[in-house]
Chain A
Amino acid sequence: MNKRKRQIKIGISLFLSAAFMLGFGHACSQFAADGSGLVNSTSFGEDNIILNEKTVSTVYAKQALQSMSSCLGIANPSMETQQTYEDVQQSISERGSAKEVTAPMMMGLTSLAGDVCRDLLVEEASLASGERQIFENIDLSAEDISEDDLALSINRMARSCWQRNETDQELGAILDSVYDALGSDAGLRKKVIYSCTAILASFDSLKL
């Protein structure tokens, strides 16, 4: 009998709590507190909160350079790269909100990625071939890079910055774009920086 009473009490409490939440929750969410009837929208797009799902966000201004450098294992970005970071920082979202992505932000991040990739090439060229993270056993003093070696470096960059292997489609798209845009005799430096920039400036490198 006591158990039955307790169950009824809990049921009534839950019902009242739900009614309270519904009533007050709805009222407070729609209208301004001053009673003016103004609705304060909090975003420029429709908010679509999906329960039990992660919220998508991107790198933000303060960490953009550090994030790109660290995924490629660059300890000290060059002065030139730091200057580029200074130049583009104002266009990068301050908070990394998915709703703050703009064309200038993507342009800035692509420029920054290009400089970080140049630093990668310079830094790894100064290391012994076997000590390199991305270009291990690849001849960086050569004029050009073979397609197999370029594919190998793309795989290592993808594993470092996307934290996964690239898909066949991604590898195909990058290689085709390199040869279509630059031609087959563009040289090692251009091919490597082009493909590295594409990886570093794409969504999987920028998402948090």
Chain B
Amino acid sequence: MSKNIKKNKKFEDHVVQFEDLHNKKPVTRRDFLATGIIPFAASVLTPNLLNLLTPGNAFADSSRCESGAAASEFPAFINVNLAGGSGLSSHAIGLDEGGQLLEKYTRMGLGLSSRLNTVNRFGGSIWYASSTFLRGLEAEMSASTIANTAFVSVCVESRDDSSENPIDISGLIDRVRSGSLLPTLNPNRNKPALLVPKPSVAVGGLTDLRSSILLSGNLNTLLKDSEKGKLLNLVNNLSTSQMQKVQNQTYGDQIQNLLSCAGIKNADLVSKSDLGIDPSADMNVSTLWGIDQMDNPGGQNFVSAAIAYNTLKGNSTLGNITLGGYDYHNGTRTRGDDMDEAAGARVGRLLETAALMGQKLFITVTSDGSVTSGDSENPGEAPWNSDGGTRGMMYMFAFDPAGRPGLKGTQLGSFTQGQAVNDKTLVGGSPELAAASVFANYLSFAGKLSKFEEVVGRGTLDSAELDEVSLILG
């Protein structure tokens, strides 16, 4: 420090320095107060904070810290990704361009249409009557939850066994919805559609959530809450002044904005007494998922419950749940049936959680590719023998506690008589356009379809196409 002072001495000859008067450099707090570096003791942080909030320093303006609206303005969003290529089109049945059953589904595991038993669910969609996904789903849902849920399938090809399908819409959702405490919970393993998502927090249990919003380790017990807040403010102020040096470097202004916003948010968090992030604290949710505070907080049920609870409560921006083992074409039908039943049960519990918490929820179920069955005329009999990305499908579920959302249709895109996705439709041959259409349905469900162009930009879907693909109404 004395070096710095000496270095600048030649510029300061006309000013009487602290050292000149006291025969030493300023070291202590009192010295700094005396020199005027600290105007007065209690407000040492104020100059930096004022500097932070000066209009010229846009990066420090806390109003710029959240780019999405408060979570309460948009429904909760959760993606369930079945990694490996689930046969989703063997549960919700793919229809032709005219909305009719195909003549046969002999390579899709459902045999001849003449032998196929179907049921009508969730506002008009047609499901295979013996679908294990549907069985798992409905086993977890109450009658009223089923009655308040709408469903739309999206017929779209995708690459088998690949994370290269651009179907992750986290980056679109996080432009319109911001969690009050947490960012997106868990990354999506698929390639982003249109916009790269903001960073997420990987959730392996309650500890991960806590350590994201609370000080952990020895600081947690060493410092009182008020002391933690002041420490985080100090870190933020030191960083803010240090970042001035990188302002003109690549990404310099971005890191200034992100780091300042992070500091402001963290200092605010420690002052809150109850963060309410633990799903086991909610009796209804805890019972539904079979968890309580004594259970393993890193278990799969706990993680799914935590994602659902925090997303529905508006704590987090959105949630991603990845279930593995869906590359199940092993020459049997039973393994695929069991896996799909488990997926259905997971989705059913998520919807039931929304019902228990009285919140709107939009769920997408995605996979990479699909499966092809042995050629059989009997529904539900043929084993899954190989991949089948040309028979791919995505699901959209929309739950509203006030009543089933309106529907303009139950299927986006269509299948051909060749038992493959019709790639001539708007969404059929492009997973990215299909994902954009899913986002349009989310916005439509939220009653904010007008936001589409603002987020996605022009040229992806024109207004007529936007209207055509938006089947779920708010």
Contact = CB atoms under 8 A, between A and B. Distances in A.
Interface stretch (B123-131, B137-145, B192-200): B192-200
B239 A90 contact: no
Interface stretch (B96-104, B258-266, B340-348, B362-370): B258-266
Interface stretch (B73-81, B107-115, B241-249, B331-339): B241-249
B199 A100 contact: yes
B45 A155 contact: no
Given A114-B219, A165-B4, A203 B28 contact: no
- Interface of chain B, helix or strand or loop or mixed? helix
Contacts of A41: 194-196
B199 A105 contact: yes
Nearest to A206: B239
Contacts of B55: none
Interface string B182-212: 1100000000001111110111100110011
Interface in B13-38: 26-30, 32, 35, 37-38
Interface stretch (B85-93, B221-229, B381-389, B398-406): B221-229
A98 B255 contact: yes
A199 to B, nearest CB: 8
Contact of A87 (B1, B41, B216, B249): B216
A150 to B, nearest CB: 9
Given A36-B430, A44-B171, A90-B204, A173 B251 contact: no
Interface in A40-67: 40-45, 48-50, 53-58
A172 B32 contact: yes
Contacts, number: 261
Given A42-B196, A54-B249, A107 B219 contact: no
Contacts of B5: 168
Given A88-B211, A111-B215, A53 B249 contact: yes
Given A107-B214, A173-B48, A190 B222 contact: yes
Interface of A: 32, 34, 36-45, 48-50, 53-58, 80-81, 84, 87-88, 90-91, 93, 97-108, 110-112, 114-115, 118, 147-148, 151, 155, 162, 165-177, 179-182, 189-190, 193-194, 197-199, 201-204, 207
In the A-B complex, the 7 residue pairs with the closest CB atoms: A104-B212, A114-B219, A84-B217, A181-B230, A176-B44, A172-B32, A98-B251
